[in-house]
Amino acid sequence: MSEETRLRVLRAAEELGYHPHLLARNLAHGRTRNLGLITPISLEHLFASAGFFSQLIRGMHRAALEAGYNLSLHIAESEEEAVERIRDVVRGRSVDGLLITNPTVASPYLRDLKRHRIPYVFIGHPLEEAVYVDNDNVEVSRIGVQHLIRCGHRRIVFLNGPARFTFCIDRLRGYRAALEEAGIPYREELVWQSELVESAAYEVVYRLAPRHEFTAVFAGSDVQAVGAIRALRDRGLEVPDDVAVVCVNNTDLARHFIPSLTTVDLHEYWLGYWAVKRLLQAVEGERTEHPLLIPGELVVRESCGCREQRPGPEGGGAAEGTERPTERSV
Amino acid sequence: MSEETRLRVLRAAEELGYHPHLLARNLAHGRTRNLGLITPISLEHLFASAGFFSQLIRGMHRAALEAGYNLSLHIAESEEEAVERIRDVVRGRSVDGLLITNPTVASPYLRDLKRHRIPYVFIGHPLEEAVYVDNDNVEVSRIGVQHLIRCGHRRIVFLNGPARFTFCIDRLRGYRAALEEAGIPYREELVWQSELVESAAYEVVYRLAPRHEFTAVFAGSDVQAVGAIRALRDRGLEVPDDVAVVCVNNTDLARHFIPSLTTVDLHEYWLGYWAVKRLLQAVEGERTEHPLLIPGELVVRESCGCREQRPGPEGGGAAEGTERPTERSV
DNA sequence: CTGAAAGCGCTAACAA
DNA sequence: TTGTTAGCGCTTTCAG
């Protein structure tokens, strides 16, 4: 066919206002060009931070768009509901692949998933073998703890989340690794644990703080850090003067809290982006290799005490660590 | 057809593992059972708060699910991109209706929308006439300012957002209404304006605070409140002792900041829920009347100074105003 | 290279 | 009631 006729046809189509009907095309092709996102946990608790979700979804959407796919939302408030959502969606064949966040030890949907041989990828890693993309959580806490060690701390409390989350298990490994590298003995009594809400963190720290000697706290999330800081204060310990604090999750709260929090940014955008890329690999045999583990990045602010404090917005030197480098290539 | 045969058929279908193919069904029906969400602004700035989005989307998803619809995401980082997203989606006929957030004065997609006569509803209200669901923003600021007045304040600064957002225009009306009701004269010099980020709020307040007399600030968002509080502090004014602060947006930041912030909760969940309900009205002629304006709700914490402070998590009396009443009926 | 026809899996309209 | 058939709007295959 000549180039000229091609263009003439295209122009005619344009004039007549013709546009292909995607549903019909997809039916003929036997695919939907839809990717489903399943969240088997209430969104507020999704990775312990509301902001996490919007970034994650943004990255996912970008990758999907690049490949001409749509992202459809299937929010469940529990794993049981997730089982239903997944069942509906695979039965109706309304998606070509599934993205599933927050896998747990239980992951009751895994059976259905394997039986129906629909492509899927987890965000976070389950215990059972499965395709996943995750933060490099070992690295994440290693980075945070290393920073505290460089600031001169040797007695560092780790305020971790519950061990039922696989990422908390990984984080503990990173904590130990950092200590070991610095030749600091690991002390079990300095590893504390709380649920991922402020009040729980407050209580644990308020109770345990007087019983131990320590000069720094590494907290598993921003809200836990805030709970810890409040508890320390109520025990007469100021942050960062008496105790240094570093945490995970670079959120609005971390940025704006007083003192502003030194955090490890999780780069949720890229977590979502690569999760979709990887799913697409399975869906249409894309051949490129994609990262599985997204590195974290330290953002130094006031709570670790290694930066001089100046007055101004964000309590000091707004320039650095203010902009989220969420879209930098990893 | 007898009930018995009906059941036998159903059982047979079950045994053979038959499930209807949604794509085919929808093609035959000439509809998609898909609702598209368009966000013509970067998600971080969506209504000036990251948490806003997850709640909004959760409400939307719930309403869609109840009606057997899917929610598909179309994130744009600008209005120009939104135009593209919308064009693609209506041309491919891949959604039955559209939800569009953050309409502005420009709203360049309105033309296409009207031409293609696809059902749509805005979240927030544009200037041009259009179907929308919105927060009752006049009420929202009236509630906040009223609270300050009840606390005994009469010289109340309003730190508003930019007037290019329609909600900021509404908020100003509520501010004036509250003053008027209390017989307090309106003073233009007490209405300040900043972009919806902390640094901008800081600068405005730092600059204007020494030039005026006031005992309270009503801020248009949580981050603006934080910027204001920091600026006041750098001017030697403590919150809530010297200046009381109330703001809009009941976020993690508002909850956990020190002092914790008295806010007006926007009930984003219901905003999303009713937006979808209303869209479905247009899509399939549902007949019930749905609310158009979602009321806000005051959550009293420390920053307004009318509550005694106690030590503990969240800086005092965690019980009240801690749980988000997001799913209460409106 | 072009045109006709079959089929994707369902719905709806029409005979039987 | 039941069975048959013609679409829905596209892709793909197979003759012409």
Say yes or no: Cβ of A29 under 7 A from any atom of strand D.
yes
Which tokens in the block code for residue A2? 């000549």
CB A19 within 8 A of CB B92: yes
CA distances from B258 to A94, A251, B217 (A): 47, 16, 16
SS3 A71: strand
CB B312 within 8 A of CB A234: yes
Nearest CA in chain A to B207: A312
Q: Nearest CA to A164 among A131, A195, A120?
A: A195
Please give the pLDDT value at position B105: 78
Claim to verify: residue B238 and residue B174 sit in the same structural domain: yes
Cα gap B301→B253, rounded to integer Å: 12
Residue B87 sits at the chain A interface (C-beta within 8 Å): no
Identify residue B330 by its one-letter amino acid code: V
CB A325 within 8 A of CB A297: yes
- Report CB contact under 8 Å: A198, B234: no
Claim to verify: residue B126 and residue B65 sit in the same structural domain: yes
Q: Provide residues 111-170 of B with CB closer than 7 Å to any strand D atom.
A: none
Residues of B in contact with A255 (CB under 8 A): 198
Q: Is the pLDDT of residue A322 over 90?
A: no
- Report CB contact under 8 Å: A46, B54: yes
Claim to verify: residue B191 and residue B319 sit in the same structural domain: yes
What is the CB neighbour count within 10 angstroms for residue A152?
A: 11
Determine which of B14, B234, B252 to mutate to test the interface with A (most A C-beta atoms within 10 Å): B252
Whose tokens are 């307090």? That residue is B184
What b/e sequence results for A208-233 when a residue is b if at least 16 CB atoms lie within 10 Å of its CB, and e otherwise? bbeeeebbbbbbbbbbbbbbbbbbbb
- Report CB contact under 8 Å: A73, B73: yes
CATH no. for residue A276? Answer: 3.40.50.2300
Say yes or no: Cβ of A117 under 7 A from any atom of strand D.
no
Asked if residue A225 is part of any domain, the answer here is: yes
Claim to verify: residue A163 and residue A253 sit in the same structural domain: yes
What's the mean pLDDT in A132-151?
97
Asked if residue B24 is part of any domain, the answer here is: no
Residue B73 sits at the chain A interface (C-beta within 8 Å): yes
Claim to verify: residue A114 and residue A256 sit in the same structural domain: no
First and final CA of chain B: distance in angstroms? 44
Please give the pLDDT value at position B285: 77
| pLDDT band per the 50, 70, 90 thresholds, residue A324 | very low
Which tokens in the block code for residue A49? 């931070």
Claim to verify: residue B223 and residue B109 sit in the same structural domain: no
Cα gap A96→B234, rounded to integer Å: 55
Claim to verify: residue B260 and residue B141 sit in the same structural domain: yes
Q: How far is B252 from chain A (nearest CA, A)?
A: 7
- Report CB contact under 8 Å: A257, B252: no
Task: Identify nearest nucleotide to residue A2 by CA to C1′ distance.
Answer: C1
Residue A13 sits at the chain B interface (C-beta within 8 Å): no
Cα gap A87→A71, rounded to integer Å: 18
Asked if residue A3 is part of any domain, the answer here is: no
Cα dihedral B196, B197, B200, B206 sign: positive
| pLDDT band per the 50, 70, 90 thresholds, residue A325 | very low
Residues of B in contact with A22 (CB under 8 A): 92-94
Claim to verify: residue A102 and residue A193 sit in the same structural domain: no
Say yes or no: Cβ of B20 under 7 A from any atom of strand C.
yes
Task: Identify nearest nucleotide to residue B30 by CA to C1′ distance.
Answer: D8
Strands (E), A51-96: 70-76
Q: Is the pLDDT of residue A164 over 90?
A: no
Q: Nearest CA to B181 among B160, B156, B163?
A: B156
Cα gap A55→A267, rounded to integer Å: 8
Q: How far is A201 from chain B (nearest CA, A)?
A: 9
CA distances from A160 to A101, A192, B115 (A): 20, 6, 55
Backbone angles phi, psi at B68, to 5 degrees: 80, 25
Asked if residue A12 is part of any domain, the answer here is: no
Q: Tell me which residue in B54, B222, B315 faces A43 most closely, judged by beta carbons.
A: B54
Mean pLDDT by 10 residues, chain B (330 residues): 70 84 95 96 66 89 96 94 96 96 86 89 89 96 98 98 92 98 98 95 98 98 96 97 97 94 97 96 81 95 87 58 38
Which tokens in the block code for residue B7? 């059941």
Which bases along strand D come within 7 Å of a protein CB atom?
A: 1-2, 7-12
Asked if residue A86 is part of any domain, the answer here is: yes
Task: Identify nearest nucleotide to residue A28 by CA to C1′ distance.
Answer: C8
Residue A236 sits at the chain B interface (C-beta within 8 Å): no
Tally of domains in chain A = 2
Distance, CA of A29 to C1' of D9, in Å: 12
Q: Tell me which residue in B50, B70, B312 faces A202 most closely, judged by beta carbons.
A: B312
Determine which of A58, A62, A101, A116 to mutate to test the interface with B (most B C-beta atoms within 10 Å): A58
Claim to verify: residue B87 and residue B152 sit in the same structural domain: no
Q: Is the pLDDT of residue A323 over 70?
A: no
Asked if residue B16 is part of any domain, the answer here is: no
Distance, CA of A17 to C1' of C3, in Å: 24
CB pairs A-B closer than 8 Å: 161
Claim to verify: residue A50 and residue A144 sit in the same structural domain: no
SS3 B155: coil
- Report CB contact under 8 Å: B19, A311: no
Claim to verify: residue A238 and residue A143 sit in the same structural domain: yes
Contacts of A41 (CB under 8 A, 6+ apart): A76, A77, A78, A79, A101, A102
Q: What angle do CA A205, A210, A214 make, to 5 degrees?
A: 80
Distance, CA of A72 to C1' of C4, in Å: 38
Asked if residue A4 is part of any domain, the answer here is: no
Residue A40: which H helix or E strand, with range?
strand A34-40
What's the mean pLDDT in A229-238?
98
Give B 263-292 residues with CB within 8 A of chain A. Answer: none
Residue A27: which H helix or E strand, with range?
helix A22-29
Mean pLDDT of chain A: 89
Task: Identify nearest nucleotide to residue A18 by CA to C1′ distance.
Answer: D9
Task: Identify nearest nucleotide to residue B93 by CA to C1′ distance.
Answer: D9
Cα gap A151→A247, rounded to integer Å: 15
Please give the pLDDT value at position B1: 55
What's the mean pLDDT in A171-196?
97
A249 sits in the region (left: phi over 0; alpha: psi -120 to 50; else beta) called: left
Distance, CA of B18 to C1' of C13, in Å: 25
CA distances from A260 to A34, A253, A323, B85, B246 (A): 41, 8, 14, 38, 21
Whose tokens are 């100046």? That residue is A310
User: pTM for this structure?
Assistant: 0.91
Chain-centroid distance, C-alpha B260: 21
Which tokens in the block code for residue B31? 């509809």
Asked if residue A8 is part of any domain, the answer here is: no
Which tokens in the block code for residue B291? 């609310």
Range of the domain at A123: 29-130+269-294
Backbone angles phi, psi at A190, to 5 degrees: -95, 0
Claim to verify: residue B196 and residue B312 sit in the same structural domain: yes
Identify residue A4 by its one-letter amino acid code: E
Cα gap B125→B3, rounded to integer Å: 51
First and final CA of chain A: distance in angstroms? 44
